[in-house]
Chain A
């Protein structure tokens, strides 16, 4: 199968700081990338997505950056809040096939 990996399994940040979660992917043909947030006991929740013809996309307090040269994806969360504590997954898609990373656990320290 495809390989979607995360650089760091855990990340702790101070409330109010910015968070950066990184993800590497292996399939240069992937054309769509998604970030999900999963809180304890819940299903994954869509955060933001980006197509392969873009290198940056912004949402509310979140920004996704795509570097196709090095096959790297990152999620930036501005002014991190306690409610942002969760596991974050990146996923890559080729057609209708989706491949997920194992996730990064983000802990926000009040």
Chain B
């Protein structure tokens, strides 16, 4: 158990809908990362937050947005969902939010299925 929690575990929805994925980082970690893992593209970095502020952006679509709240939990919002958005979404947290030797601990993921 990494100490990172994600809810829900599974989510099934229809195209065009909007969903919210939630992540609680490990106690004491200030930074949260979101990743998308699909079969054909592997693990893709989406976005990083540090202490409530966006720090780095990866391959995140405009239909997706995220935020980190004062209590450090984070939410990833996915809107106008398409079939291709079906994937595992992972959240990771780290202490300092800096790449060097700042180990990221991953949550168990949310499996999103868009029908």
User: Are A and B subunits of one complex?
Assistant: yes
Binding site for B on A (CB under 8 A): 1, 31-32, 36, 41-46, 49, 51, 89, 91, 93, 95-103
Pick the contact of B99 from A32, A44, A100 — CB < 8 Å?
Answer: A32
Interface residue ranges of B67-93 to A (CB < 8 Å): 90, 92
Query: Given A42-B109, A93-B99, 10 more contacts at CB 8 Å?
Result: A32-B100, A32-B101, A43-B106, A49-B103, A51-B100, A89-B43, A98-B33, A98-B45, A100-B43, A103-B43
Within the complex, what minimum Cβ distance (angstroms) separates B50 from chain A?
9
Q: How far is the CB of A30 from chain B (nearest CB, A)?
A: 10
In contact, A42 and B108 (Cβ under 8 angstroms): yes
Contact B99–A95 (Cβ < 8 Å): yes
Contacting pair B58 A97 (CB below 8 A): yes
What's the A-B contact tally at a CB cutoff of 8 Å? 61
CB-based contact B42/A100 at 8 Å: yes
Q: Is the CB of B58 within 8 A of A98?
A: yes
Residue of B nearest to A93 (CB): B99
Q: How far is the CA of A99 from the CA of B33 in the complex (A)?
A: 13
14 contacts between A and B (CB under 8 A): A1-B59, A32-B99, A42-B108, A43-B108, A44-B106, A45-B2, A46-B103, A46-B104, A49-B101, A96-B55, A97-B45, A98-B33, A102-B41, A102-B42
**In whole Å, how far is A9's beta carbon from the nearest beta carbon of chain B?**
11
- Please give me the residue from chain A that is nearest to B33 by CB atom: A98
Q: Are B56 and A43 in contact (CB under 8 A)?
A: no
Q: In the complex, which residues of chain A have a beta carbon less than 8 angstroms from the beta carbon of B4?
A: 43
Q: Which residues of B contact A45 (CB under 8 A)?
A: 2, 106
- The reply to whether A96 and B108 contact each other, CB–CB distance below 8 Å, is no
Q: Which of A46, A93, A102 contacts B105 (CB 8 A)?
A: A46
Residues of A within 8 A of B103 (CB): 46, 49
A103 CA to B43 CA in the complex, in Å? 9
The minimal Cβ–Cβ distance linking B62 to chain A, given in whole angstroms, is: 17
Q: How far is the CA of A31 from the CA of B99 in the complex (A)?
A: 9
